[in-house]
Chain A
């Protein structure tokens, strides 16, 4: 476990503000390879901002981010991606005019040095995308688009995968499929990695994750196993103001 933590992701005292608005304040988080972490919190609590800072999409003001024993603070996002952090987006960002195969291929080509076609075929197969192979990504049903975005990210063979509301917009069945898929990925011999998942569907998060990190107004208010976090007073209080997301 200690070894897994060393090869995983560590954010240390990360702060980020947008002209006065403190989006993140001294947030620390460790995601070991092979574990699934949930990141929850009310709207605007800084979840996406944390993902943006980790993936290099936004620079952080203070703090450090490490991947294994590499300090990746302040690196360009494409460097961070090649070092082993992949992500998806809250609003899907596929290469809409490219085919499903090309979307995956673009990720594979960015990191691999051979056997591209076999890798792409295997990935499409692994994620049940083969039948869509030549379809333009923008024309896919929503649920398939979400799955393709994850497959594209995994094409870069990440050590850490960051998922921003992967179940948003999916129906019950699609969510269940996604949940099963994410579990499979963690234990997969080839694509196994550590994952940090944001979602508003708390039932899904509780079932999916090994550990949960809770943000409120940019600060960590709780961290731990799902059953502990669920009963944490600060978490209940933060969520009481947001009735539509009651903790059950």
Chain B
């Protein structure tokens, strides 16, 4: 810790306070409004933010696109499910489960940390190979990781129940838990960004060759970024599982990867605040269009059902942003942070 910069920590701390305050205001407002639907949307939004912010830690700092992070999200979700589903439900759903797992029944915090830990281990296993690759090769390998983990989720029947998926997870999440989760994860993401390794990863994003010639070990900083990001993604998956309560392997695949990456691109890859803003924009657009998707009447016009409208809108939004603001809405900027 001796080569940390106090100045960087102070700037990150300020960003963390401002972001936390904004989210707290949003959460508090929704809670006071006391509308069940709004509370549901806000809770989902906070959980979504945990995902995007966790992804930002690697993709934003390293500049290497990862299509594989949703796999860590899945690992966290399955881990939390196995840790929290009551033994009597497991006996029915997963009769072949090893005895140690069968009798486990932990609380929210243990399940979330467990999700982070198992995701970390998977990240370690894969990262040792990936971090040695060239940038483009690494991006391709992350895609392979996504497909590989999906195959495992879909076929490891003893533990995952295959394509049917798991159910019976007790609800550990409410608005406040989700809010606490995102505030903690934002704090950790900003801490990483302020750290020497975080800065070195950003330097390697800008100029890998020059970064090496000032003493930066590319493999090392990329591996550390990958591990931190993977573990955070695991905790995000664990939180999400304890809100959705039942899920299957197809919830950790291409559409989800696209959605999370799109939020990051829209908000701005290089910024933690951007990840939050991207999640907010996409949530806002989706919620507004979701009602339209079911069909509506506009004066004399009757518009029929429009399935796929939300995804279409998000895709178009990305293209517009990439044309007019290729660095995303916030670019490299953080809220409350003068560099």
B215 at interface, CB cutoff 8 A: yes
- Judge whether B92 is part of the interface by a CB distance below 8 angstroms: no
Q: How far is the CA of A175 from the CA of B62 in the complex (A)?
A: 35
Which A residues lie within 8 Å of B218 (CB)? 78
- B residues 196-228 near A (Cβ < 8 Å) are 196, 199-200, 202-203, 206-207, 209-218
Partner of B5, one of A77, A109, A156: A109
Give, as a whole number of angstroms, the nearest-CB distance from A94 to chain B. Answer: 7
Q: Distance (Å) between the CB of A113 and the closest chain B CB?
A: 5
Task: Give bound CA distance, A55 to B214, whole Å.
Answer: 10
Give the number of chain A interface residues (Cβ < 8 Å).
39
Is B209 within 8 A of A156, CB to CB? no
Q: Which of A127-160 contact B (CB under 8 A)?
A: 134, 136, 152-153, 155-156
Task: For the complex, give the distance between the alpha carbons of A199 and B210 in Å.
Answer: 20
Question: Which of the residues B214, B338, B339 comes within 8 Å of A102, measured between beta carbons?
Answer: B339
Indicate if B3 sits at the interface (CB-CB under 8 A).
yes
Shortest Cβ gap from B206 to chain A (Å):
4
A78-B217, A134-B339 known; A97+B270 contact, CB < 8 A: yes
> Residues of B contacting A55 with CB < 8 Å?
213
Q: Residues of A with Cβ closer than 8 Å to B?
A: 55-57, 76-78, 81-82, 86-87, 89, 93-99, 101-103, 105-107, 109-114, 116-117, 120, 134, 136, 152-153, 155-156
Query: Could you list which residues of chain B lie within 8 angstroms of chain A, going by C-beta atoms?
Result: 2-8, 196, 199-200, 202-203, 206-207, 209-218, 270, 332, 338-339
26 cross-chain CB contacts under 8 A:
A57-B212, A57-B213, A76-B217, A78-B212, A78-B213, A78-B217, A86-B214, A87-B213, A93-B210, A94-B206, A94-B210, A95-B207, A95-B211, A97-B206, A98-B206, A101-B339, A102-B339, A105-B8, A105-B199, A106-B216, A107-B215, A109-B5, A109-B196, A117-B5, A134-B339, A152-B214
